[in-house]
Structure 1
Amino acid sequence: MVNVLKLNFMEKIKVFLIHDYDALMDSIESILNDSESIVVVGKANSAALAEQLIRTKTPDIVVADVSVCEKVGADLTKLIKREFPKIKVIVLSMQDDFINISKMIKSGATGYLLKNVKFHELHKAITKVMLGETYIQNSITAKFINGYQRENHTEEVNILSPREVEIIRLIAKEYTSADIGRMLFISEHTVETHRKNIWRKTGVKSIVGLLNFAHEHQLI
């Protein structure tokens, strides 16, 4: 497998840089060009100029500062992916929170790095992204994973109606369907219907499974 990957990189990875700070962009260019597997084929300090030059330079990867003045990060990434769908995008940002990382990944970026990234990790990110992987800077990976898990849990809870959540909490207190019906002023049959819907939506198959689901999603 390793030999195959090396063969794929016999041609240098062509990188295009977008950054509004020319001195930093020149520094990145110089270091990347020292690599045996990477070459910087162009650079731009604005989204408009980048769009124009990318058409002629045909890079494999765009490394873009998401704060470039006239285009916010997600818009810039979407523009690149819409106009040049084969090009992979690695974004540079000052934001390390899940919301911003997730927004950029959903916009089409396959790499997310902070502006303080070390050059050896930038090189690693370019290589990984070129292999079809998504790369998030090591120092913020855990934060992204935790945020992703919380978001998925929220989506799972959102499929439950407020009444179903209420019934789950009463079930957890060991009330019977008849008890719950009296407390909520609904029939026992209606409670049983809610219970069936809860089993179906959560995918649990027992009271123990339901309690585990409720604990995991902080319903009780």
Structure 2
Amino acid sequence: MSHQAVAMTPPIKIFLADANFLFIEGLSVMLSTIADFELAGMTRNASETLHQVQQVQNDIILVDANFFFQGHCTFGQHLREVHRGKILVLHDAISVSCLKKITSLADGFLSKTASRHQLCDSILAVVEGRFIKQIKGSLFASLNSTFQQELVSRYELTPREVEVIRLIALEFLSVEIAQKLCVSEHTVDTYRKNITKKLNVRNVAGIVNFAHRWQLV
């Protein structure tokens, strides 16, 4: 009785690059439990990543979005030059406008709050060249929604407080905000106090800076 050899698909070799030790360690442990994936290497800073990624054969690098905006912001160009595999950018609370700046440097984007299932799907999609098609369309709208959700979660803001922050940044007075929201001026003042405390800022300028940093206006 003859036995026909079965061709085995080689595992996808993954390189990890992230500054957060606990995150990258946890990610490496999770990936090691998935048969289709193989951990090729790990680094924790931009310069080490550019050096190591040339020495280690891999199919895809999962890299911290913050690496692209450190120093003189040349990391992305250099990574494209020295890395032959795909690039999946992992982001947390970074603005959508920043991510758009590196669209041409990445093959895909994924939030660090994504599930195990979403991570696996994204890795496969990027390796197969399918993910980049989504970037030009609805992906950034989705990222923007996720970005706002992370904002609300991190600072424990209510939807109404976010709206008040927007209006303050747009230079509306308390009496005008009260009229727009159909509440009393006293209620708006309460919102201001709560917002100041939650954001840990001292004055209106701090609130305005926060609004611009998180692209609320």
TM-score (norm 1): 0.53
Deviation for aligned residue 1:34: 0.9
CA distance in structure 2 between the partners assigned to 1:126 and 1:8 by the alignment? 22
Deviation for aligned residue 1:136: 8.9
For the structure 1 residues 9 and 103, does the alpha-carbon distance in structure 2 shift closer, same or farther, using more than 3 Å as the test?
farther
Segment drifting more, 60-69 vs 111-120: 60-69
The percentage of counterpart residues that share the same residue type is 17
For the structure 1 residues 119 and 76, does the alpha-carbon distance in structure 2 shift closer, same or farther, using more than 3 Å as the test?
farther
CA distance in structure 2 between the partners assigned to 1:73 and 1:123 by the alignment? 32
State the partner residue of 1:111: 108
RMSD (CA atoms) = 3.4
State the partner residue of 2:38: 39
Deviation for aligned residue 1:9: 7.8
State the partner residue of 2:89: 91
Deviation for aligned residue 1:128: 0.5
Deviation for aligned residue 1:69: 9.0
**5 Å matches for 1:179-198?**
none
CA distance in structure 1 between the partners assigned to 2:51 and 2:12 by the alignment? 20
CA distance in structure 2 between the partners assigned to 1:26 and 1:52 by the alignment? 20
**5 Å matches for 1:1-220?**
10-68=9-67, 71=70, 75-84=74-83, 86-95=84-93, 98-106=96-104, 108-134=105-131, 141=138, 143-144=140-141
Segment drifting more, 87-96 vs 16-25: 87-96
SS at 2:41 equivalent: strand
SS at 2:31 equivalent: helix
SS at 1:67 equivalent: helix
Deviation for aligned residue 1:26: 0.8
State the partner residue of 1:198: none
Q: Does the CA contact (< 8 Å) of 2:16 and 2:63 recur in 1? A: yes
For the structure 1 residues 43 and 52, does the alpha-carbon distance in structure 2 shift closer, same or farther, using more than 3 Å as the test?
same
Q: Does the CA contact (< 8 Å) of 1:15 and 1:61 recur in 2? A: yes
The code of the aligned residue for 2:20 comes to Y
State the partner residue of 2:185: none
CA distance in structure 1 between the partners assigned to 2:88 and 2:77 by the alignment? 12
SS at 2:14 equivalent: strand
Cα distance per residue 1:47-72 (max 9 Å; x no partner): 11112211221211110112249836
SS at 1:11 equivalent: coil
Structure 2 unaligned regions, length at least 5: 1-5, 145-217
CA distance in structure 1 between the partners assigned to 2:79 and 2:88 by the alignment? 11
State the partner residue of 1:205: none
TM-score (norm 2): 0.54
Deviation for aligned residue 1:141: 4.1
SS at 2:102 equivalent: helix
How many aligned positions are there? 138
CA distance in structure 1 between the partners assigned to 2:114 and 2:36 by the alignment? 19
Q: Does the CA contact (< 8 Å) of 1:45 and 1:68 recur in 2? A: no
Segment drifting more, 97-106 vs 71-80: 71-80
CA distance in structure 1 between the partners assigned to 2:60 and 2:76 by the alignment? 12
